């Protein structure tokens, strides 16, 4: 089984930078690696990607030493299992609001005795059977399980969520948090920032790592200085849009 370098980096308290991938083209994943990112989030929650596309994006990432995380559409055992079976470095589970939901996500991601993940060795994660039948313990140990807390209910339950065993990290979603506060999209509002700061402290005290999304390098640095280790800086299609807008603006002006 391949090494999970992203998990090793996080356990060593390193800061890792990534990019959300909404495009179906593996070239965007390759470019992310050449740019120096540590991971990509293959996004099955938003956009047009599906699991058959995601597996090839994972291959592109693995080929260049870039860790592929897969964000599933919802906290569903079948989707979590599929995201891990394709050989991703880990799964990102959105809209987790309670301790029970976090426990359910972990159980869906882990084989017995830690969970209830369905077992097949004939998957990319199992090297299509070449890894042998004793691989479940190694998979349980190496795969990352990350839940997204992105609503006020989740913030209220952050201490209980952070105590869930075998959960590696918690990703704070600023955009959906802003929406739950009635100020959709206003991620720099102090209501959003204050709640996220509170969560960062609680999560770090629990021994788990904290992740979040940042629209630009300045915001990313702010969160890193507060103890956030895993930062996704942008979405592939938005990065391309901004680059194109900049080119047009420079010519038109």
* Residue 134 falls in which region: left (phi positive, over 0), alpha (psi -120 to 50) or beta: alpha
Whole-model pTM: value is 0.95
Q: At residue 134, does pLDDT exceed 90?
A: no
Spatial separation of the C-alpha atoms in residues 44 and 72, rounded to whole Å = 5
CATH of the domain at 201: 3.20.20.60
The dihedral built from the CA positions of residue 109, 55, 176 and 5, taken in this order, carries a sign that is: positive
Q: At residue 114, does pLDDT exceed 80?
A: yes
CB 77 within 8 A of CB 91: no
Spatial separation of the C-alpha atoms in residues 250 and 253, rounded to whole Å = 5
Spatial separation of the C-alpha atoms in residues 17 and 1, rounded to whole Å = 24
Beta strands 144-149 and 90-93, pairing class: parallel
User: What is the SS3 assignment for 212?
Assistant: strand
Domains held by the chain: number: 1
- For residue 176, the model assigns a pLDDT of 97
Q: What mean pLDDT comes out for the span 194-212?
A: 97
Residue 120: DSSP 8-state: -
Q: What mean pLDDT comes out for the span 114-125?
A: 94
Dihedral (Cα; 126, 129, 131, 137), 10-degree rounding: 50
- For residue 1, the model assigns a pLDDT of 65
Q: Domain span at residue 147? A: 5-252
| Active site members | 46
- For residue 132, the model assigns a pLDDT of 81
């Amino acid at each position: 089984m391949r090494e999970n370098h992203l998990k090793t980096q996080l356990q060593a308290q390193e800061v890792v930078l990534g990019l959300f991938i909404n495009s179906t083209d593996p070239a965007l994943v390759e470019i992310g690696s050449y740019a120096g990112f540590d991971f990509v989030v293959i996004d099955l929650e938003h956009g047009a990607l599906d699991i058959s596309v995601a597996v090839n994006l994972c291959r592109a990432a693995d080929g260049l030493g870039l860790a592929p995380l897969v964000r599933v559409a919802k906290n569903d055992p079948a989707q979590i299992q599929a995201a891990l079976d394709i050989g991703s470095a880990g799964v990102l589970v959105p809209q987790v609001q309670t301790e029970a939901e976090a426990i359910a996500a972990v159980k869906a991601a882990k084989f017995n005795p830690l969970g209830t993940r369905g077992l097949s060795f004939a998957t990319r994660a199992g090297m299509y059977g070449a890894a042998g039948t004793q691989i479940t313990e190694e998979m349980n140990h190496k795969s990352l399980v990350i839940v997204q807390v992105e609503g006020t209910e989740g913030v209220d339950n952050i201490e209980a969520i952070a105590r869930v065993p075998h959960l590696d990290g918690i990703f704070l979603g600023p955009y959906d948090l802003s929406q739950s506060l009635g100020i959709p999209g206003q991620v720099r509002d102090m209501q959003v920032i204050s709640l996220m700061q509170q969560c960062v402290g609680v999560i770090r005290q629990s021994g788990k790592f904290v992740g979040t999304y940042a629209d630009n390098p300045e915001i990313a640095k702010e969160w890193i200085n507060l103890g956030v280790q895993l930062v996704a800086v942008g979405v592939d299609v938005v990065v391309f849009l901004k680059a194109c807008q900049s080119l047009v603006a420079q010519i038109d002006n």
